[in-house]
Amino acid sequence: MFRDRIEMLLSAQTIVGQVLMILVFVLSIGSLIIYFINSTDPVGSCSSYQDKTIPIDLTFNAFFSFYFGLRFLAASDKIKFWLEMNSIVDIFTVPPTFISYYLKSNWLGLRFLRALRLLELPQILQILRAIKTSNSVKFSKLLAIVLSTWFTAAGFIHLVENSGDPWIKGRNSQNISYFESIYLVMATMSTVGFGDVVAKTSLGRTFIMFFTLGSLILFANYIPEMVELFANKRKFTNAYEVLKGKKFIVVCGNITVDSVTAFLRNFLRHKSGEINTEIVFLGEVLPSLELETIFKCYMAYTTFVSGSALKWEDLRRVAVESAEACLIIANPLCNDSQVEDTSNIMRVLSIKNYSPNTRVIIQILQSHNKVFLPKIPSWSWTTGDNIICFAELKLGFIAQGCLVPGLCTFLTSLFVEENKKVCLKQPWQKYFLSSLKNKLLTQRLSDDFAGMTFPEVSRLCFVKMHLMLIAIEHKSVSPRYCGLLLNPPAQVKLHKNTLGFFIAESAKEVRRAFLYCATCHGDVYTPELIGKCSCKLRNHRHFTGTIRVNKTSTKEFHGTPMPDFLSGERLSMMTSSMSLAIRPFLYEDSDCLDSSGMFHRCKANPLDKVILKRTGKSKHNFRNHVVACIFGDAHSTLMGLRNFVMPLRASNYTRQELKDIVFIGSLDYMQREWQFLRNFPQIYILPGSALYSGDLRAVNIEHCSMCAVLSSPSKSSGSQTLVDTETIMTTLNIGSLRISCSAWTPSESEGISQYTGGCCGKPKYRRIPILTELKNPSNIHFIEQLGGMEGRLPGTSLHLSTSFSTGAVFSGSFLDSLLATAFYNYHVLELVQMLVTGGTSSQMEQHLDKDKFYGRTDCGTTSTSGRKRCKLGLLPLNKSILSDIQPRETFGQVFCGSLDNFGILCLGLYRMIDEEEHNPDHKRGVCPRGKHPPWPTPCKSHGCFVLGERGV
């Protein structure tokens, strides 16, 4: 245990380890410079107390001795440690320095070996983030080899030529400076040999002969690379050694610099400082120099083994049967998504055949490939096997953003963590950055909640613990809903050991829901005071309503017992804000649904019936519809637009609420997608391009509720910046369209102003609401230039941009974090799938016949039980049922009032991001409820929303 702590202390993963490595390198260079200075004197000379370089060099060597001891304690193989290069350097340089100081004799000796520390230059530059590309790493490594060889060889020549041959007592020595030694070495390395400076001693000439041969081999163009590859091949083919009691996971698939960096960042941040799980990467190709440096920086956690998950021999070498799980990373930027998915599915099949009980979590790019995994005989959802489908989640997030402005940003913020230190200029930036600390967390609820209804427990958690409980896992629910209930009605009673889903900042906060005791904490309103209960009768209590929760009034938020977080002064912004709300709905009508009752369906529509023409605008007077801009051709990889349509056709919306969906794109591409879309109602296609303004106006884009610009299917591109060229140009084209408010009827203007703020007051036009998908998050600076907003957060980080905070931009790059989330807590992934995809989950898919579900051409009417689920929506505080809540001066009052009176959960805010003079377009941003006080209420806000349910 002590050795492991020392090893982690010396690794570049910790700040202390990085500082030590950099300090040793800098001091080694300093000691080498002192050697250069002392080389002007004879090799052996008496030291003078006036020479200040001697105590300085002595101090440096004292630190080298300390670092040598730490490395010795951390070494697993003590014998091998003495043969390491750094150990040899210290052995031949540190002791002579102390002896020379004691004898008052300054002997240069082998101090030139300090030049070998230059070989660590690439790793130091990598830690300092001075080099990032593979070419720069190779260049720095070659430069380090040249310099270290140059200085070391020159030091040896300087020593032997000034000392002479020992067997003749140095009579053939010559007085040669260190600079002349460097000159001689360079002439020899270049095979020029001018002859003006030559070696006279036998040792020097013998060294020159061997050095000439060595330099010819060393500095050839391709030999160093071959030597490096050969060394790495032997280095990474050893089997992983399983230690009893030590947990580890195996990661395979797309092992690259970007994927490994993203995975380590997301995996290690879940339990910072408490990671006791080692990560074994199984790569099919040898790591590049840059990737190898990353593994060295994280050597306390990572091990790389060269091999393939398709070979049982390699699976045996990484001991996959003993691993906690096997995670398979996909490449979302690959040229062929189908090939990538089939390769990863074959890896799963190989792993399950070798070890059926090994837990597997896989990333899949296309949703139609998911059906093959549950067919594997040893696949088991109950043991933690899981699928993360990029297309399903990515397009689901975008679809939710089309239904509810800002919703995709709100959901994304629960999985994004920004640690950058930025200078914030606007108040809204501070609150939005603070909201990024919120996460989806789970916790077993206290048994004292047994017998209570969900609204009672949710209200109690909010008032007493400042926790937002949004869902529970209910054991008595139908299996098709996998046990998860979002904001269940009051008829559902909680049982003991119920799992709750919270929106909070840390696991420490949600643990209070488990520690809560009705007897000990009944009068406690300070969350920090809720801790372990000392009540001895706790295990024998079973409450069935004995916990009193006032549901008829919210006046307690004005009372003195309430904490500052819910004070009226700090939460007064809610009179003009919006809240994210969830509410269950029961429907009396029964529309044409699919076999699961989860989605609206219709008879298969012929493609020619849904194709629009530019001249037919008057025939299709679209209003409040969704426009989707598609880029693809007859040879492009399918995006899986079904995943975009399904949330928009969820059965918890009535047929009258369904919005028309108009796709603008290539007809050749849409013909290939149509076989998966033909059974969904109210879908239209306009052959054309979103880069042409005439096609945009042909679909009445000025009257749309949202325009989604979807990124183009995978294409090979020489630059990552150019992968979003079409989406950025389309955003520019749509953003240039300014729609006059006179084109709207009064009722339409009132409705659209709730989303955009236009048509009210001074503005006479509005911008078209748009949601742009970016493949490369760093391209956000192009979108920011189009937004026209001042005071945006500095830098190019997507999640710190104004466009992201207002819900105008989405990027699926954060989906990489779901791999670590699924490993630590698969319940969170299930909840996200239910929220984003319209209600489907992995467990429900087990009970559906996929061929029938996606291939039936007839429409049947099913039971409305599938529609009895909640949904995400948007409600204004004014001109809605929420306006009946009194008082509502604080967020706490709105939360409790909406929950008590209407069964609605208010989750966050969507409001003006700035004052009107700084926000001419009346842009709104997402601000989930956090620990900090929300924004103050703008005095002239007219577009205040809440996220709630239809019909409220």
Do 826 and 384 form a contact (C-beta atoms < 8 A)? yes
Please, what's the b/e burial string for 217-248 (b: 16 or more CB within 10 A of its CB; e: otherwise)? eeeeeeebeeeeeeebeeebeeebeeeeeeeb
Other beta carbons within 10 Å of 600: 23
Q: Which among 122-126, 419-423, 543-547, 591-595 has the top mean pLDDT?
A: 122-126
Name the average pLDDT for the chain: 77
Q: What is the mean pLDDT of residues 442-448?
A: 90
Q: Which of 161-170, 250-259, 387-396, 856-865 has the lowest mean pLDDT?
A: 856-865
Mean pLDDT, range 614-635, rounded to an integer:
81
Q: What is the dihedral of CA 423, 428, 433, 435, to 10 degrees?
A: 160
pLDDT number for residue 939: 35
Bridge partners of 14, per DSSP, are: none
Q: Give the CA dihedral 837, 838, 842, 848, nearest 10 degrees.
A: -120
Give pLDDT, residue 558: 37
- Whether 894 and 906 have beta carbons less than 8 Å apart is answered as yes
Specify the pLDDT at position 379: 93
Q: Which bin fits 245, alpha (ψ -120 to 50), beta or left (φ > 0)?
A: left
Q: pLDDT band at residue 848, thresholds of 50, 70 and 90?
A: very low
pLDDT of residue 48: 54
Asked whether residue 199 carries a pLDDT value surpassing 50, the answer given is yes
pLDDT of residue 668: 92
Beta strand 706-709 pairing with 626-629:
parallel
Decide which of 364 and 526 is more confident: 364
Q: At a CB cut-off of 8 Å and minimum separation 6, what does 726 contact?
A: 631, 691, 712
* Bigger pLDDT: 892 vs 640: 640
Containing H/E element for 581?
A: strand 579-583
List, for residues 733-754, the tens digit of each pLDDT value: 898 887 766 555 544 544 444 4
Determine the Cα–Cα distance for residues 250 and 248; give it in Å rounded to an integer.
7
Question: H/E element holding 910?
Answer: strand 908-912
User: Which of 452-461, 900-909, 912-921 bottoms out in mean pLDDT, i.e. has the lowest?
Assistant: 912-921
DSSP output for 56-110: HHHHHHHHHHHHHHHHHHH-S-HHHHHTSHHHHHHHHHHHHHHHHHHHTEEE-TT
Q: How confident is the model at residue 355 (pLDDT cuts 50, 70, 90)?
A: very high
For residue 911 the two structure tokens come to: 């409001």
Q: Which amino acid makes up residue 450?
A: A
Q: What phi and psi, each to the nearest 5 degrees, are found at residue 475?
A: -75, -30
* Of 324, 321, 330, 312, the residue nearest 252 (C-alpha): 330
Q: How confident is the model at residue 560 (pLDDT cuts 50, 70, 90)?
A: very low
| Alpha helices, H only, 474-620 | 507-510, 512-515, 607-610
Give DSSP secondary structure letters for 6-33.
HHHHHSTTSHHHHHHHHHHHHHHHHHHH
Report whether pLDDT(660) > 90. Answer: yes
**Which carries the bigger pLDDT value, residue 16 or residue 359?**
359
User: Looking at the whole model, is its pTM more than 0.75?
Assistant: no
* Distance from C-alpha of 736 to C-alpha of 767, rounded to nearest angstrom: 8
pLDDT in tens, 9-22: 777 778 888 888 88
Per-residue pLDDT tens for 335-350?
888 899 999 999 999 9
- C-alpha span between 272 and 419 (Å, rounded): 13
CA 594/CA 862 separation, integer angstroms: 7
- The β-bridge partners of 686 are 664
Those residues whose C-beta lies under 8 Å from the C-beta of residue 112, and which sit 6 or more positions away, are: 32, 35, 151, 152, 154, 155, 156, 158, 159
- Between residues 560 and 744, which one has the greater pLDDT? 744
| Region 543-570 average pLDDT | 38
User: Angle at the Cα of 337 (from 725 to 679), degrees rounded to 5?
Assistant: 90
- Looking at the chain, the whole-number percentage of residues with pLDDT higher than 90 is 18
Residue pair 723/717 in contact by the 8 Å Cβ criterion: yes
d(CA 531, CA 465): 11
Got the DSSP string for 641-676? THHHHHHHTBTTS-GGGPPPEEEEE-HHHHHHHHTT
Q: Which two tokens stand for residue 560?
A: 């003195």
**Bond preceding residue 887 cis, omega within 30 of 0:** yes
pLDDT mean over 772-782? 86
**Contact assessment for residue 910 and residue 939, using Cβ atoms and an 8 Å cutoff:** no
Q: How far apart are CA 459 and CA 470, in angstroms?
A: 11
Q: Sorting pLDDT into bands at 50, 70 and 90, what band is 196?
A: confident
**563-582, pLDDT tens digit by residue?**
333 333 333 333 333 344 44
Q: Tokens standing for 353?
A: 């055949």
pLDDT above 70 (res 60): yes
Alpha-carbon separation of residue 511 from 274, 309, 508 (angstroms):
17, 39, 5
pLDDT for residue 72: 86
Q: How far apart are CA 456 and CA 449, in angstroms?
A: 9
Residue 354 has pLDDT above 90, yes or no: yes
Per-residue pLDDT averaged across 156-173, rounded? 84
pLDDT tens per residue across span 362-401: 999 988 898 899 999 999 888 889 999 999 999 999 999 9
Q: Residue 319 in contact with residue 240, Cβ under 8 Å?
A: yes
796 vs 217 pLDDT, higher one: 217
Cβ atoms of 910 and 405 closer than 8 Å = yes
Decide which of 310 and 814 is more confident: 310
Q: Based on the number of CB atoms within 10 Å of its own CB, is 563 exposed (0-12), middle (13-18) or buried (19 or more)?
A: middle
Coil, strand or helix: which one is 928? strand
When pLDDT is cut at 50, 70 and 90, the band that residue 488 belongs to is confident
pLDDT band at 220 (very low <50, low <70, confident <90, very high): low
Residues 882, 898: contact at Cβ < 8 Å?
yes
CB of 872 closer than 8 Å to CB of 407: yes
CA gap 60, 32 in Å, rounded: 11
Residue 533 has pLDDT above 90, yes or no: no
| Region of poorest pLDDT, from 204-218, 294-308, 456-470, 795-809 | 795-809
Whether the Cβ atoms of residue 684 and residue 619 lie closer than 8 Å to each other: no
Express each pLDDT in 810-839 by its tens digit.
888 888 888 888 898 888 888 888 888 876
Under the banding of pLDDT at 50, 70 and 90, the label for residue 942 is very low
Per residue in 673-697, pLDDT (tens digit) is 999 999 999 999 999 999 998 889 8
